[in-house]
Amino acid sequence: MDNKIKMQARKVDFFYGKTQALKDVNIDIHTNKVTAMIGPSGCGKSTFIRLFNRMNELLPHTSFSGEIFLDGMEINRSSVDAVDIRRRVGMVFQKPNPFPKSIFENISYGLRVNGIKDRGFIEQRVEDSLRKAVIWDEVKDRLNDSALRLSGGQQQRLCIARCLAVENEVILFDEPCASLDPISTAKIEELILELKKDYSIVIVTHNMQQAARVSDYTGFFLLGELIEFGKTQDIFTAPRDKKTEDYITGRFG
């Protein structure tokens, strides 16, 4: 492995009630790289990335064991505040989920809840974030319109901008293109490639071509286990495990 490690998962087990969703998962997320998680529906990949920003602890009747590190610090320790972790590790969800507020307020929300009050600073940051998410030109004249009036693809880029505004270090994408058309999908993929200059990125996807196009590393999940993890080109051209090969050649899943 040729560069720095941003996040690590060690011996991760996760349960929904009594159902085991993740079994002994170990993974490294590299700094300024895109790491893709692939696998069939229900294999635990979304559950897994939600551990990186402690999102799963909002769900009732779940249990977790193992360790997750961010820059070497275990994030589930009682001395660590989940709010701080989520500030550093942002998330973009499967379905675009803008707040029923204006476009401007959607972006400024993350700044305001983190205690930033300076109006000029907020305005600048909103513009910067919208530019970075390549949606500024489409919305600059209607920042006070409701975000719900944007198209699905625009909403998803708005959600990415909302995430960027808090200046986190890692961005988790949970099937960000699942509900988008091919053109919007292409825009999001371009954006991800652009963002990896500044961020470490984890993306869950059902779309193997997408994983091949955008990622540097790929992990293949099956029934809660990480079957294989490595450089994307190795996984797609010379998988070591028969199950990985069957999946990426479309024999199941």
Partner 1 sequence: MSYSRIKEKIYKWIFTILAFSSLFFLVGIVIVLFKEGIPIFKEVGFLKFMLGRKWYPTHTPPEFGVMPLILGSIWVTIGASLVCIPLGVGSALYLNEIATFRQRQFLKPVIELLASIPSVVYGFFGLVVVTPFLQKLFNLPTGLTALNASLILGVMATPTVCSISEDALSYVPRSFREASFAVGANRWQTLTQVVIPAAGSGISTGIILGMSRAIGETMTVLMVAGGAAVIPHTFLEPVRPMTSAIAAEMGEAPMGGSHYHALFAIALILFLITFLFNIIAEVISRRFRVKLGLSG
- Of positions 3, 26, 65, 114, contacts partner 1 by CB under 8 A: 114
State which of residues 148, 178, 186, 223 lies at the interface with partner 1 (CB under 8 A): 148
- Contact with partner 1 (CB under 8 A) among 10, 23, 101, 131: 101
Hey, what are 59's tokens? 């769900």
Q: Is 163 in the site for partner 1 (CB under 8 A)?
A: yes
Q: Which of residues 27, 37, 70, 165 is near partner 1 by CB under 8 A? A: 165
Asked if 189 contacts 206 with a C-beta cutoff of 8 angstroms, the reply is no
Tokens of 105: 């307020």
Q: Is 73 in the site for partner 1 (CB under 8 A)?
A: no
**Region of 130-138, 158-166, 183-191, 243-251 interacting with partner 1 (CB under 8 A):** 158-166
Given a contact cutoff of 8 angstroms between Cβ atoms, the answer to whether 241 and 228 are in contact is yes
Q: How far is CA 129 from the centre of its chain?
A: 17
Residue 185: C-alpha distances to residues 154, 177, 209, 210 (Å): 11, 6, 12, 9
CB 106 within 8 A of CB 96: no
Smaller CB distance to partner 1: residue 82 or 186?
82
Closest listed residue to residue 82, CA positions, set 115, 51, 46, 113: 51
According to the binding rule CB under 8 A, does residue 14 interact with partner 1? no
Q: Is 186 in the site for partner 1 (CB under 8 A)?
A: no
Selected range binding partner 1 among 162-170, 192-200, 216-224, 235-243, rule: CB under 8 A: 162-170
Q: Between the CA of residue 218 and those of 44, 185, 247, what are the distances in Å?
A: 15, 19, 13
Q: Which of these ranges, 83-91, 120-128, 178-186, 213-221, lies near partner 1 under the rule CB under 8 A?
A: 83-91
User: According to the binding rule CB under 8 A, does residue 158 interact with partner 1?
Assistant: no
Binding of residue 166 to partner 1 (CB under 8 A) = yes
Q: Is 125 in the site for partner 1 (CB under 8 A)?
A: no
Between residues 3 and 151, which has the closer beta carbon with respect to partner 1? Answer: 151
Using the rule CB under 8 A, give the single segment among 111-119, 125-133, 203-211, 215-223 that binds partner 1: 111-119
The Cα 41–Cα 106 span in angstroms is: 30
Binding of partner 1 by 109 (CB under 8 A): yes
Q: What DSSP string describes 45-61?
A: HHHHHTTTTT-GGGSSS
**Which amino acid makes up residue 114?**
N
C-alpha of 39 from chain center = 16
Half-sphere exposure of 168 (CA within 13 A, CB side): 26
User: Rule CB under 8 A: which residues touch partner 1?
Assistant: 53, 55, 58, 60, 82-84, 86-87, 90-91, 93, 95, 97-101, 109-110, 112-114, 148, 159, 162-163, 165-166
